């Protein structure tokens, strides 16, 4: 977001998601620094993490967005607010764009291994469903309403149910 403060006062729709992602990044920072050697700083990070977690939980329910800490890389862009559920075993690369109504989860509740890896510079269209375990390469565009259940190579556009390669990017 280029001007988050201006968007907040002009009631732009993306400032809500900006606030959600900002809180998520602070929560990740406290979570990653909890194992420091200083006992006082450890208590401070744990209490700050607890407060950030409560705020994250409230925003998750309010905006219907669920992203666990340490799942998305820097530059992740959520366009418009709306339902997004990203399961905690997912790793999303840098500069990915995720539109509303996206579900990233596992194929079956019985699966013990369900790692989902999404590469850098990916674009996930509205209504896409990604069911793991699956690996999606870099520079991939997933079309609206696509259901991805198999691995996707780099530099392609996939669409359809189940997702098939529609075009190779150059």
Mark whether 77 is an active-site residue.
Answer: yes
Q: What angle do CA 88, 93, 135 make, to 5 degrees?
A: 70
Question: Which tokens in the block code for residue 33?
Answer: 């620094």
The vertex-62 CA angle with 128 and 98, nearest 5°, equals 25
**Which DSSP symbol is given to 64?**
T
Q: How far is CA 82 from CA 66, 117, 118, 127, in A?
A: 10, 22, 21, 11
Question: Which residue in the list 3, 77, 80, 85 is annotated as catalytic?
Answer: 77
What are the residue numbers of the active site?
77
């Amino acid at each position: 977001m280029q001007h988050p403060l201006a968007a907040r006062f002009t009631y732009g729709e993306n400032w809500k998601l900006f606030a959600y992602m900002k809180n998520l990044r602070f929560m990740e920072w406290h979570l990653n620094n909890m194992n420091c050697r200083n006992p006082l700083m450890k208590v401070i990070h744990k209490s700050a993490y607890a407060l950030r977690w409560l705020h994250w939980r409230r925003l998750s329910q309010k905006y219907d967005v669920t992203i666990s800490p340490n799942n998305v890389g820097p530059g992740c862009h959520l366009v418009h607010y709306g339902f997004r559920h990203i399961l905690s075993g997912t790793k999303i690369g840098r500069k990915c764009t995720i539109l509303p109504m996206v579900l990233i989860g596992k194929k079956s509740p019985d699966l013990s291994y369900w790692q989902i890896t999404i590469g850098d510079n990916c674009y996930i269209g509205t209504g896409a469903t990604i069911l793991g375990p699956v690996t999606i390469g870099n520079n991939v565009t997933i079309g609206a309403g696509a259901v991805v259940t198999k691995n996707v190579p780099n530099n392609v556009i996939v669409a359809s149910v189940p997702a098939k390669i529609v075009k190779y990017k150059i």
